[in-house]
């Protein structure tokens, strides 16, 4: 058991934590923007899955990481376009729309995968995984270097997005307007500003972040695409938004906690401790439930008051 | 002089409902122009048309001689029209400053609100409104929220301010302040369109335009008219403004409250030992400024709020800690002050709301199944008897006007209660016709030996109806007056918490 706590192992667990947190942070930030605009997008999982697939196809066809990321972002935005069209324009029940998006993505990614690769023989197609990009000098700092600064570009992007999204939401007028949509869209409407235009903007910007999250799951971590490769990360992102009490900084913390549990689990499996690893797999979700229970007793919730409620002008 | 605003033959329909039928009137610079009309007459609708929020189906609106072509509030704001809505449109989790600035050019892409804050303070000084710009809306009492709404409009450079029932939620003092501000504004050449049911407000305007059933009945100079004449125009018949309360002997105590204590939702003590007795055939009025524990008292009495001490007896039986369902079954009826939050399910139709809470009982349910014929018959009868204006018993309750929504609650509670009626601000936001109706019904229940507990911020209402008036202040009963001996000045002082004033008048 002593092995568990040597420096190298601690460093590798913490580095893995940051890596695993990457798609969680990106997806949760994306969902945060949408939810702040009052739209409950339960389709995160599906949005990530489609983006993951798009990134894989992009990388496979062009060999360019940039093209892959671009495709993933477009896929994320396309999926969230469906979401916001249903929610803001048709004013359909948002929960149902989100769930439908997930089913759509699960089926479609698999179908497209088969359509693309069925003819190309037996071997599973592979792409080059994004390389680690150590930051000069910073990566040489003991402990911190290998944990924080020896990561992939998307990970740096994810960490950077935390303050960026915070600044956007709390220090720009667009952010103010978006937060207003989640609390009381009529306040926007009575000033003669379009509610739905802003919801489109917010949800699709969130979709773009979700797209990056999806890309990390394939070309950021795996050379292959397998069905359902996102494996619940989108759902975890939804929980993270709640656990974070709808704050960007909270998202960073919550994502790191969940990721740490996962990293620990991998490590324990790796060194062959005699314990059913499923227990650790379940840990993030158990923690999520505990957090939800605690949240219900905590003081003021930051949950947007009109989350998931369609806006009608003539309502009274 | 050219009018600032001219509304010409404006018609607005919602599906089949004609809310405004060829409405015309104008507003001069520096004028306070009042719109008066029954609930559902179309006042809010015409206001929303002027604000560009609704698009009129026909007719034109001219601002300073130019056809305005208002298609969005943006156009209206650009032409100097500001509006304070009947239900405030504020974001409660945001600061006053953010609420005022959002959507104006003061909001640069990257927010820097210092300049805006300075300008808002400037306006505040001009009108003597002092408000903490960094406070969050939920921390402010409603009276202050009203100032925020007004500042919002003035900050955008409003030359015409539309106020939709601004005084419905204000204390008399706050309402007086509001009119002071209006007068300062009109002195600057600004205009005000004021929608109100209260004659105290109406009589302070310059002109009054009366609407009835979507049509303009006429526009009169306020100085040349009277309450009675206006009421006549508005309702189309004369209304008894003063209720006739005949003598009626009071019976045995039916509701006895002893040392009742309770807290609000945040755990702050709101009732600090209430003692109160209501007899059969008696109306007890509770005077007091809103927020002094009235809401908590009523909720505790009907069983919807946990008590922290004391006892409540209904006709001799201890009901402390019982559930609302039990208490209702034992004969208590409740008319809450917030109609849509506590009294109705807005998305249900009228007939469902009419049986809500009694839906498990005969004849509405048998062996666990709802009896639709019985429910429908009951609803149709109630709609006819109370003259609820609605297309049918299956109309969604949310689309009813305030007065008609209130009638649904009254119909339900009066039909089911057998001993006691609790009524918290039952006439708030209602037109005189409906209020008259409410009062008649309450007096009728009194004649039928019900005990009635009535809270109101309108002292006139209490003086007219109640056999006894108690004053509530910070969760305590400060004084008690018999109908004959009650003195408005004394009650007013007690309402403001000056305890000594009423002691001498107390009766046992
Ligand atoms: N958005 C809407 N959809 C359908 N009908 C509506 C809508 N708004 C108002 N109405 C109807 O139009 C009529 C006029 O309503 P309005 O709200 O203008 O009345 P009001 O004079 O302001 O009444 P109150 O004094 O109760 O506020 C009513 O019959 C109402 O039911
Ligand atoms: Mg109205």
Number of Cβ within a 10 Å radius of residue B252: 11
Task: Tell me the C-alpha distance between B160 and B316, whole Å.
Answer: 58
Q: Is the CB of B433 under 6 A from ligand 1?
A: no
Is pLDDT larger for residue B2 or for residue B339? Answer: B2
- For the stretch B135-183, pLDDT in tens is 999 888 777 888 999 999 999 999 999 999 887 777 777 788 899 999 9
- Output B253 or A282, whichever has higher pLDDT: B253
Could you tell me the distance, in angstroms and rounded to a whole number, from the CA of residue B19 to the centre of ligand 1?
A: 6
Pocket of ligand 1 contains residue B391 by CB under 6 Å = no
Facing residue for B107 by CB, picked from A176, A189, A315? A176
Q: For each of the domains in chain B, give its residue range(s) and CATH number, in order of start.
A: 5-235 (3.40.50.300), 240-331+417-508 (3.40.50.300), 346-415 (no CATH)
Non-local (6+) Cβ contacts of B335 within 8 A are B343, B406, B409, B410, B413, B421, B422, B423, B424, B426
Determine the distance separating the centroid of ligand 2 and the alpha carbon of A92, expressed in angstroms. Answer: 29
* Closest ligand by atom to B403 CA: 1
Q: Where are the domains of chain A?
A: 23-232
3-class state of residue B10 by DSSP? strand
What pLDDT is recorded for position A313?
81
Q: Which ligand is nearest to the CA of B43?
A: 1
CA gap A209, A164 in Å, rounded: 12
In a mutational test of the pocket of ligand 1, which residue from B401, B429, B433 has the highest number of ligand atoms less than 8 Å from its CB?
B401
% of residues, chain B, pLDDT over 90: 56
Which region among A176-180, B229-233, B431-435 has the lowest average model confidence (pLDDT)? Answer: B431-435
Across the range B326-335, mean pLDDT stands at 93
Q: Is the dihedral of CA B47, B50, B51, B53 positive or negative?
A: positive
pLDDT for the residue A118: 74
pLDDT at residue number B507: 42
Largest CA distance in chain A: 67
CA distance B171 to B173: 5
| 3-class DSSP assignment, residue B215 | strand
Percent of chain B scoring above 70 in pLDDT: 97
Residue of B nearest to A170 (CA): B111
Confidence of residue B282 (pLDDT cuts 50, 70, 90): very high
In chain B, whose CA is at the least distance from the CA of A184?
B91
Convert the pLDDT of each residue in B441-486 to its tens digit: 899 999 999 999 999 888 888 988 999 999 998 899 988 998 877 7
- CA-B48 nearest atom, ligand 1: 18
Interface residue of A179, A186, A192 to substitute, partner B, most B CBs within 10 Å = A192
Per-residue exposure over B41-69, b if at least 16 CB sit within 10 Å of its own CB, e if not: bbbbbbbbbbbbbbebeebebbbeeeebe
pLDDT of residue B455: 94
Q: For the segment B185-228, what is each residue's pLDDT rounded down to a tens digit? A: 999 999 999 999 888 899 999 999 999 999 999 999 999 999 88
> Which residue of chain A is at minimal alpha-carbon distance from B99?
A187
Does ligand 1 have an atom closer than 6 angstroms to the CB of B280? no
> Which residue among A187, A305, A314 places its CB closest to the CB of B102?
A187
Q: Do B77 and A173 touch (CB under 8 A)?
A: no
Q: Does B118 have pLDDT greater than 60?
A: yes
Strands B451-456 and B420-424: parallel
How far apart are the C-alpha atoms of A299 and B369, rounded to whole Å?
A: 41
Mean pLDDT of B278-290: 92
CB-CB under 8 Å, A173 with B111 = yes
Q: How far is B242 from chain A (nearest CA, A)?
A: 32
Closest listed ligand to the CA of B211: 1
Chain B CB contacts of A179 below 8 Å? 91, 94
Least confident range of A285-299, B14-28, B239-253: A285-299
Question: CA gyration radius for chain B?
Answer: 24
Cβ within 8 Å, pair B110-A177: no
Contact B102 A188 (CB under 8 A): yes
The sign of the CA dihedral A75, A79, A80, A85 is positive
In this complex, is the C-beta atom of A298 within 8 Å of any C-beta atom belonging to chain B?
no
Q: How far is the CA of B154 from the centre of ligand 1 (A)?
A: 26
pLDDT for the residue A204: 98
The answer to whether the beta carbons of residues B44 and B76 sit under 8 Å apart is: no
**For each of chain A's 316 residues, which pLDDT tens digit applies?**
455 568 888 999 999 999 999 999 999 999 999 999 999 999 999 999 999 999 999 999 999 999 999 999 999 999 999 999 999 999 999 999 999 999 999 999 999 998 888 766 667 888 999 999 999 999 999 889 999 999 999 999 999 999 999 999 999 999 999 999 999 999 999 999 999 999 999 999 999 999 999 999 999 999 999 989 999 999 999 999 988 989 999 999 999 999 998 898 888 877 777 777 777 777 777 887 787 777 666 556 788 989 999 998 864 4
């Amino acid at each position: 058991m002593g092995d568990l706590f040597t420096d190298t192992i601690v460093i590798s667990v913490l580095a893995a934590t940051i890596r695993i947190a990457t798609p969680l942070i990106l997806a949760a930030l994306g969902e945060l923007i949408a939810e702040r605009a009052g739209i409950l997008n339960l389709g995160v999982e599906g949005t990530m899955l489609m983006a993951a697939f798009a990134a894989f196809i992009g990388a496979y066809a062009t060999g360019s990481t940039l093209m892959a990321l671009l495709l993933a972002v477009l896929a994320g935005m396309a999926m969230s376009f469906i979401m916001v069209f249903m929610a803001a324009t048709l004013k359909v029940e948002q929960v149902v729309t989100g769930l439908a998006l997930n089913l759509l993505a699960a089926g479609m990614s698999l179908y497209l995968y088969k359509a693309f690769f069925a003819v190309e023989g037996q071997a599973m197609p592979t792409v080059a995984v994004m390389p680690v990009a150590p930051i000069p000098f910073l990566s040489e700092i003991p402990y911190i270097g290998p944990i924080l600064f020896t990561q992939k570009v998307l990970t740096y992007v994810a960490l950077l997005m935390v303050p960026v999204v915070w600044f956007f939401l709390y220090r720009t007028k667009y952010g103010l307007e978006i937060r207003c949509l989640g609390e009381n869209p009529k306040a926007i409407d009575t000033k003669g500003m379009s509610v739905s235009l802003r919801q489109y903007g917010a949800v699709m910007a969130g979709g773009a972040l979700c797209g990056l999250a999806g890309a990390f799951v394939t070309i950021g971590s795996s050379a292959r695409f397998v069905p359902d490769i996102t494996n619940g990360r989108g759902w975890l992102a939804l929980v993270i938004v709640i656990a974070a009490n709808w704050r960007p900084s909270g998202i960073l913390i919550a994502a790191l906690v969940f990721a740490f549990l996962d990293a620990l689990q991998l490590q324990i499996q790796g060194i062959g401790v005699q314990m059913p690893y499923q227990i650790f797999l379940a840990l993030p979700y158990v923690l999520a439930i505990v957090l939800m229970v605690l949240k219900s007793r905590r003081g003021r919730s930051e949950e947007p008051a009109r989350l998931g409620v369609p806006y009608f002008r003539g309502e009274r | 002089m050219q009018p600032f605003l001219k509304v010409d033959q404006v018609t607005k329909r919602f599906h089949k409902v004609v809310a405004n039928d060829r409405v015309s009137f104008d507003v001069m610079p520096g004028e306070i122009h009042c719109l008066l009309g029954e609930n559902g007459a179309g006042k809010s609708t015409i206001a929303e048309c002027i604000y560009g929020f609704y698009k009129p189906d026909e007719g034109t609106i001219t601002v300073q001689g130019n056809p305005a072509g208002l298609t969005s509030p943006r156009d209206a704001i650009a032409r100097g029209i500001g509006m304070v809505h009947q239900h405030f449109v504020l974001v409660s989790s945001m600061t006053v400053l953010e609420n005022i600035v959002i959507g104006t050019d003061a909001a640069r892409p990257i927010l820097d609100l210092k300049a805006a804050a300075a300008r808002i303070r400037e306006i505040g000084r001009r009108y003597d409104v002092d408000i903490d710009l960094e406070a969050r809306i939920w921390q402010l009492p409603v009276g202050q929220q009203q100032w925020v709404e007004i500042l919002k409009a003035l900050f955008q450079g409003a030359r015409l301010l539309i106020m939709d029932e601004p005084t419905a939620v204000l204390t008399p003092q706050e309402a007086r302040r509001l009119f002071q501000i209006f007068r300062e504004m009109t002195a600057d050449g600004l205009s005000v369109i004021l929608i109100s049911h209260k004659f105290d407000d109406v009589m302070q305007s310059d002109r009054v335009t009366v609407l009835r059933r979507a049509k303009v009945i006429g526009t009169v100079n306020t100085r040349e008219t009277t309450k009675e004449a206006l009421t006549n125009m508005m309702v189309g018949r004369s209304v008894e403004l003063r209720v006739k309360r005949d003598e009626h002997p009071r019976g045995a105590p039916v509701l006895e409250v002893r040392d009742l204590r309770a807290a609000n939702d945040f755990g702050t003590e709101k009732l600090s030992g209430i003692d109160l007795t209501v007899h059969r055939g008696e109306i007890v009025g509770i005077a007091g400024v809103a927020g002094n524990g009235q809401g908590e008292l009523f909720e505790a009495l009907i069983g919807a709020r946990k008590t922290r001490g004391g006892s409540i007896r209904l006709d001799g039986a201890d009901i402390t800690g019982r559930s609302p369902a039990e208490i209702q079954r034992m004969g208590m009826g409740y008319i809450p002050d917030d109609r849509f939050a506590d009294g109705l399910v807005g998305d249900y139709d009228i007939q469902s709301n009419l049986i809500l809470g009694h839906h498990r009982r005969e004849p509405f349910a048998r062996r666990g199944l709802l009896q639709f014929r019985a429910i429908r018959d009951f609803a149709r009868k109630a709609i006819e008897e109370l003259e609820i204006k609605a297309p049918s018993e299956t109309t969604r309750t949310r689309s009813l006007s305030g007065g008609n929504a209130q009638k649904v609650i009254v119909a339900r509670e009066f039909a089911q209660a057998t001993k006691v009626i609790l009524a918290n601000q039952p006439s708030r936001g209602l037109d005189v016709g409906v209020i008259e109706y409410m009062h008649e019904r309450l007096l009728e229940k009194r004649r039928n030996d019900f005990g009635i507990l009535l809270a109101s911020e309108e002292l006139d209402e209490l003086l007219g109806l109640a056999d006894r008036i108690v004053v509530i202040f910070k969760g305590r009963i400060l004084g008690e007056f018999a109908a004959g001996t009650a003195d408005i000045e004394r009650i007013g002082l007690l309402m403001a918490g000056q305890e000594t004033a009423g002691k001498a008048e107390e009766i046992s």
